[in-house]
Structure 1
Amino acid sequence: MRLAVRVTPRGGRDAVDGWSRDEAGRPVLKVRVSAAAAEGAANAAVVALLAKALGRPKSQVRIVRGDTARVKQVEIDGLDEAEAARAFGHPPAA
C-alpha cells in the first residue's frame, strides 16, 4: 500500500499527527520528526516512525517518491486499509 505523507522535519518530537488534505484535496498523513532534513536523517526518521507505529520492520517501509520534498509517497509492504486505519485513523472522506 502507498500513502502520501507530509513531513515536518525538526518538529520537536517524532509523532503521527493524523490525516489532512493537500492543496489538491487528496488525503495526506501528517508526521513530524525531530531530525533535520539533512543527509537523509529526516527520511530515516520517517521510515522508523511509521514502521514502529505499524509494528513492522523498517525493511517493509520505504520512501518511493519525494526524497527531498515535504510530501512523500511511502510504500509499506503488506499493509491493508484496515491496518492503516487502526494505526493512523481513517483518512478524511472525499
Structure 2
Amino acid sequence: MAGRQSVLKPPSSATPVIALDAGTWSRWDGDALELTLRVKPRAPKDAFIGAEGTHYRVAIKAPPVEGKGNTALRKFIADAFGVAPSKVSVIGGEHSRYKRLRIQAPRTFPIPVEPRSQ
C-alpha cells in the first residue's frame, strides 16, 4: 500500500485534499470514525500536529496522570469533531501514547480523514 494515493474528505467543502496512506491512521466502521493517534502530553496547547506514518500526532496540555490525559484528549477530540465527549472512546492504548479512538457520528472534520464508503 505504500505510495497509494486517496482523495480525502476535506475539513470543509473546499477542494479535496490528496494525501498518501491516510487510511493507515483513519478508518470508518459504519458511522463511527476510528483514529490511530500518537499523543504528546504536557504540551503548551491542545493541537493537531499532523500525520506521521501510521499515526496522526496530537498534542495535549494535560499530564498523563490518573486518566487526566485521556480525559483531556477525549474532550479535545469531541470539540474538534463536533460531538459530545461521551461519543469519543479510547479503544486501544489506554496507558500508552499510541492510542486508538472511536468517534461516533462525527459532524465536523478538522483533519482530512479517509472517505466514508457508501
Band the TM-score falls in, shorter-chain normalisation: 0.7 to 0.9
User: Segments of 4+ in structure 1 off by > 4 A?
Assistant: none
Q: Deviations over 1:29-68 (max 9, x none)?
A: 1111111000010111110010011111111101011011
Give the TM-score normalised by structure 1. Answer: 0.78
Could you tell me how far apart the structure 2 residues matched to 1:58 and 1:75 are?
A: 11
Aligned residues: 82
Return the offset for 1:89. 2.5
Instruction: Tell me how large the CA RMSD over aligned residues is.
Output: 1.7
One-letter amino acid of the structure 1 residue matched with residue 47 of structure 2 = A
Could you say which residue in structure 2 is the equivalent of 1:88?
A: 111
Q: Which segments of 5 or more consecutive residues in structure 2 lack a partner in the other structure?
A: 1-32
Could you tell me how far apart the structure 1 residues matched to 2:98 and 2:63 are?
A: 15
The structure where strand makes up a greater share of residues is 2
- Partner SS state of residue 46, structure 1: helix
The structure where helix makes up a greater share of residues is 1
